[in-house]
Amino acid sequence: MLVGDTYTLINYVSFINYLCYGVTILGLLVLRWRRPALHRPIKVNLLVPATYLVFWAFLLVFSFISEPMVCGVGVIIILTGVPIFFLGVFWRSKPKCVHRLTESMTRWGQELCFVVYPQEAPEEEENGPCQASPLPATDKPLKTQ
C-alpha cells in the first residue's frame, strides 16, 4: 500500500501469486513421488502438473528478465513473512510473553478482517450462565426420606 500506484501493486501481488501457484504444483508433484499411497480426492495424470510447471517456469523466467525490479520487490514481500513464521509457528519453546503477543496479534488480525467469529475469553466461558455445581459429584444416588 505504500507504493501509491495501484498498477505497480497489482504487478507485485500477481508475481507473488504466480510464484505461490508454481510452488504449490511443485509440492503436489513431490507428494505424488514421496507418498504415492496417500489418499487424494482428485487424482490427475502427472502430465498436467508437469506441463503447467514448464509454462510456469518459462513465464517466471521471462518476468525476471523483463521486470527484475518488480520481481525483486515481490520476493522481498514474501521474505518479510519469514521472521513472522519463525516467531509465531516454528519457535516451539518461546516464552509466555512472546506466546501471548503472537496470540493477541493473531486474534486482532482475525477480528480486523472478520475472518473468525469472535469467541469469548476463557474466563467468561468458565463463569458463564451454565456454571458447574459447587458440590462434589458422587457415583452413589442420594437417599431420599
d(CA 142, CA 123): 32
Domains in the chain: boundaries? 6-113
Cell of 6: 495501484
Structure confidence at residue 47 (pLDDT): 93
- Torsion, Cα of 112, 117, 122, 126 (10° steps): 150
d(CA 29, CA 46): 8
- The tens digit of pLDDT for each residue in 83-128 reads 988 887 888 888 888 888 888 888 888 888 888 765 665 554 444 4
- Dihedral of CA 51/56/61/65: which sign? positive
The two most distant CA atoms of the chain are separated, in Å, by 92
- Torsion, Cα of 84, 87, 88, 90 (10° steps): 110
Question: Is residue 135 over pLDDT 60?
Answer: no
